[in-house]
Amino acid sequence: MANDVFAKSLLTRRQALALGASAALAGALPRGALAADEKVTLWHGWTGADNTTALNGVIDTFNKGGKGVTVEPTGYDWDTLFSKWVVSSAGGRAPDLVLFHITELPEFATRKVIRPIDDVVASSGLDLSQVPDAGRTGVTFDGKVYAAPLDVHPLGFYYNVDMVQEAGLDPAKPPKTGEEFLEWAKKLTVKDASGKVTRYGFELPNTWATARWIWFSLMYQNGGTFLDDKGLAAVDSEASQKALQYLVDLINVHGVTNPEVGGNKGEDAFASKQVAMKFIGPWEVNLRMAQKMNFMTAQLPVFGAKPAVWANSHCMAVSKQPNEDKLAADGTFMKWFFDNFAAPATTVGIIPQSKAVRENAAFTGTEQYKYFKSFVDDLPNIVYEPLIPQYLSVFSFDKPTPLVTNLQAALSGSKPVPDALKAMKEGLDAQLKKG
Amino acid sequence: MTSVASQPAGRSKARRASAQEGGAVRSGMTLAAYLFLSPYLALFIAFMLLPTLAAVGISFMRWDILGTPEFIGLDNYRQIFADPLFLTAIKNTFYFVFLTAIPMVVLGLALAMLLDQKLKGTAFVRTVVFLPYVVMVSTVGILWGWLFDKGTGLVNYYLTAIGIEPIAWLKDPHWSMPALAITTVWWTVNTNMIIFLAALQDISEELHDAATLDGAGPWQRFVYITLPLLRPAMALVTALTIINGWRVFGQAYVMTQGGPEASTFVIVQYIYLTAFQNFEMGPAAAAGVVLLLITLVFSLAQMKLMKAI
C-alpha cells in the first residue's frame, strides 16, 4: 500500500511528515483509512488563476478528509474541455466527473457522454430538495437527473458609487424601473465643453455575450420567450423587438451608452471610468474588490412588465464509462462538493444552488456577501436560456452565429431592429431544425 | 573508347572496383541522408501527411467523432458552399491575405535592407525586431486589444494627437480586419526579414563594388543587382506569406472572435468551430480540403508569376 502512495508522485516534506505521523497512528485508525484511495478524475473550465486555486484548495481539503476518494482536477478553457471530452469519450478515456454549464447538459446527454445519476444521487444522499425548482429542472433531461446543480450566476447591476454621488444621486436607492434607470444613465453621462462624451452612463458592449444577456432579460421582462411552442425561434416577437429597441434607443436616442466602449478581452471600461454602470454576473465582484473600486450591486431594474433576469449555472455530471465501478466514489465527492460549496462560490463569484449552503455563515459571513446579496434576492426571477441540444452552436460565444451577428448589427445601427430580428429568426430556425 | 579498350586489364579492374566503391559510398551516403531525414519524415508522415489524407477521406463522410463514419459523397461540400458563413469566411480570409501580403513582403525587405547596414547597434536592433516572433498569439491578441481600445488605447492616443478622430478598431466592422492585419504584420514581418537578411548577406560585395565602379548609384544597384539576386528569397517569402495568410486563426480568435458582425470570421475558425463545437467532422474536413486547394492554387500561380518576371 505504501508503495502505491510513493509511486503516485514525489512527496513534499509536509506530506512525508504527515505520512510518518499517519503510520505512527496506524494502530488507532480504522483499517479502511489506510487503504489506497479510489482516484476520481475531474475536468472543469474554471481556468482563471483565482478560480483554479479556490477549486484545488477545496479539493485538497476533501482529499485529506479520509473519505477513501482522491479527486484529481484538471482545468481547460471551456471550448478545449468540450472538444477534448467528446474525443476522449470516443476513445474510452473520459474523465470520471465533469463540471460545466447546465445549458450545455442537453447536448452532452444527447451525445451520450454523460449518464443519468438518479442512482448516484440516491445512494450518496445528495439533497436535491435544497435546490430551487429552476435549478432542478436545469439538470433534468428526458425525465432523468443528469448532474448535481452547484451554483447559479444571474445578471446583476453594478454601479460606481463615487460617480453616483457626484451626480447628486442616492447610491442607497438604485433604480428599480426603466424610467429611473434612464434618469440615472442620463445624469451619469458626462460631456466635455465641446459636447464630446467623456463618460457614458451605461456599458453596453457590442462584443462578447453581455448585450445578448441584457436583451434576453428584457425580452422576458416584456413577456416574450426565446423559443415558441414548436421549439422555433420567437425572437421576432413584439416583446423581443421592444427589448432590443430600448437598448438601441439608449445608444442613438439618449446617447447614454456606446456599443464601441468596453466588452473586449482586456478592456475594462468600468475600472477605467469610461462608464458608470454595467450589468454583469456576480463573478466580477472579486475583481472589483481587488481593484478597490467604490462600487455597489443591485437587482436588475424592471424595464418591462415583470422582473426577469438571465442566469446560468454550473453543474457536475458523471461521464459515461465502459466500467461503472467508480460510481460510489463519484457520488461521495459530488455530495461533499455540493454541501461544501461556500468556499468555491465565494472565490469564483457565484451563488450556491443549495439553500442550506446559501444561508450558511460560511457564505453569508464573507466580505463579498454584501455584493452577492442582490444576486441572491434576484434568484426567484432567473430565466435560463433554452435547454436544447443545439445550445453550443446556437449560443456560441466565439462564432458569428445568427444570434450574435444580428444583435451586433442592430446595436451598431447597420440593420433596423425589426430587420435584424427577422434575419436572426431565420438563421436560428435553420440551426434549430438541424436537430 | 579505344583508350579504354587498350587499358591494361589490371587498371580496368581497379577502376571497376573503385567505381563499385564509389557506388557503395554513394549509396551509403544516400542511406545516411535518409537516416538524417527520417525523424522529420516520420513525424511529417504521422502528424501531417496521414491526417491530411484522413481529412480528405472524412470530407466525404458524415461523422460526429462518437459514431461510425458514413459515406455521403459530395454532400459536405454542397453543405459548406450553401452556408453563407463559409462564403463570408472565404471572402474575409482573402481580404486578410490582400491586406497583409504586400506589407509583409515590402516591409520585410525594407527592414532587412536597413539591418543589413554595418552600423553600430545593428545586432541589438535585429533582436528587437525579431522579438515579437517569440510572443504567443494569445499575448499578442490581448496586447493589441488594449492598444486598439477606443477609449484608452495607445493607437487612438497618437491618432488623436495628430488630429484624427479615435477609431473603434475592433468593434467597427470596417476597421476590424485592418486592425488584425496591422497586428499580424507587427508580429510576423520579422520572419520575412530574416529570410531576406540571409539572402542579402549571400550577395557578393564584389558585385556591388563592380557596379559602383561602373557608375551605378544605390537605386540602380538595388534594381539591377539586389532585386534579381533576391528572386529566390522573394518567391519563398511571398509563397509563405500567402499560405500563412490563408491559415490565419489565432489573432482573429483572440481579438475579435470573428466579429463584429462576422467581419473577421476566417476559414480556419470555421473549420475549428464546425469540427469541435458542432462536432460535424465531415463539413469541417471539406472546408479544410477547400483551404488546401486555395493555398495550392495561390502558391502555384505565384510561383509561375515569379518565374515569368
Q: Which of residues 61-120 of A touch B (CB under 8 A)?
A: 79, 82-83, 86-87, 89-90, 111-113
Share of chain A above pLDDT 90, in %: 71
User: Are A174 and A71 in the same domain?
Assistant: no
Domain range annotation of chain B: 2-58, 79-308
Give residues with Cβ within 8 angstroms of A318, minimum separation 6: A96, A97, A114, A115, A117, A120, A327, A330, A334
- How high is the pLDDT of residue A10? 40
- Please name the member of A86, A259, A274 whose beta carbon is closest to the beta carbon of B151: A274
* B170 → closest Cβ in A112, A264, A399: A264
For A90-138, what is each residue's pLDDT tens digit?
888 899 999 999 999 998 999 889 999 999 999 999 999 999 998 999 9
A45 lies in a domain? yes
A-chain CB neighbours of B262 within 8 Å are 400, 405
| Mean pLDDT computed over A424-428 | 95
| CATH code of residue A128 | 3.40.190.10
Per-residue pLDDT band for B149 (boundaries 50, 70, 90) equals: confident
Q: In the predicted model, is pLDDT for residue A25 greater than 70?
A: no
Domain annotation covers residue A380: no
Query: Given an 8 Å threshold on Cβ–Cβ distance, is B151 in contact with A272?
Result: yes
Are A222 and A180 members of one domain?
A: yes
Task: Render A235-289 in DSSP notation, one character per residue.
Answer: TTSHHHHHHHHHHHHHHHTS----TTSS-STT--TTTTTSEEEEEE-GGGHHHHH
Distance from CA of A285 to the nearest CA of B (A): 22
pLDDT value of residue B21: 63
How far is the CA of A197 from the CAs of A204, B91, B144, B148, in angstroms? 15, 36, 24, 19
Q: Give the tens place of pLDDT for each residue, A283-297.
A: 999 999 999 999 999
Find the domain containing A218 and state its range. 156-311+391-433
When divided into structural domains, chain A yields a total of 2
| Phi, psi torsion values for A395, nearest 5 degrees | -105, 20
- A180 and A266 both lie in a single domain: yes
- pLDDT tens digit sequence for B87-146: 999 999 999 999 999 999 999 999 999 988 888 888 888 888 888 988 999 899 989 988
pLDDT of residue B171: 86
pLDDT value of position A195: 87
Looking at beta carbons, which residues of chain A come within 8 Å of B258? 398-400
pLDDT tens for residues B182-200? Answer: 999 999 999 999 999 999 9
Domain B79-308 of CATH type 3.40.50.1010? no
The reply to whether A302 and A324 lie within a common domain is no
Look at A153-157, A351-355, B153-157 and tell me which has the smallest mean pLDDT.
B153-157
Cα–Cα distance, B203 to A355 (Å, whole number): 77
Does the CA dihedral B131-B135-B141-B147 come out positive or negative?
negative
Exposure on the CB side of residue B233, measured as CA atoms within 13 A: 23
Q: How many CB pairs under 8 A join A and B?
A: 103
Same domain, A145 and A285: no
What is the mean pLDDT of the segment spanning B75-95?
94
Same domain, yes or no: A88 and A182:
no
Strand A156-160 with A295-298, pairing: antiparallel
Mean pLDDT for the stretch of residues A24-43: 63
CA distances from B79 to B53, B54, B64, B73, B285 (A): 21, 20, 15, 11, 12
pLDDT for the residue numbered B1 = 38
Asked if this assembly's ipTM is beyond 0.90, the reply is no
Determine the average pLDDT of the residues in A142-146. Answer: 95
Regarding whether A132 and A187 lie in a shared domain, the answer is no
Structural domain contains residue A25: no
Mean pLDDT, chain B, rounded, equals 87
So what's the pLDDT on residue A7?
37
- B4: pLDDT strictly greater than 60: no
- The reply to whether A424 falls in a domain is yes
Q: Which B residues, 44 through 103, put their C-beta within 8 Å of a C-beta on chain A?
A: 64-66, 85, 88
DSSP state of A190: E
Per cent of chain B over pLDDT 90 is: 51
Q: Is A267 on the interface with B (CB under 8 A)?
A: yes
Same domain as A233, residue A210: yes
A167 shares its domain with A98 = no
How far apart CA A279 and CA A299 sit, in angstroms, is: 10
Residue B12 is predicted with a pLDDT of 58
Q: Is residue A386 part of a domain?
A: no
A404 and A341 in a single domain? The answer is no
B-chain residues near A197 (CB < 8 A): none
**How much is the average pLDDT of A84-89?**
89
Question: How high is the mean pLDDT of chain A?
Answer: 89
Residues A301 and A200 in one domain: yes
In a domain, A253, yes or no: yes
Specify if A275 maps to a domain: yes
Angle (CA) A233-A234-A239 rounded to 5° is 150
Examine the pLDDT at B46 and tell me if it is beyond 80: yes
Tell me which residue in B171, B261, B269 faces A409 most closely, judged by beta carbons.
B261
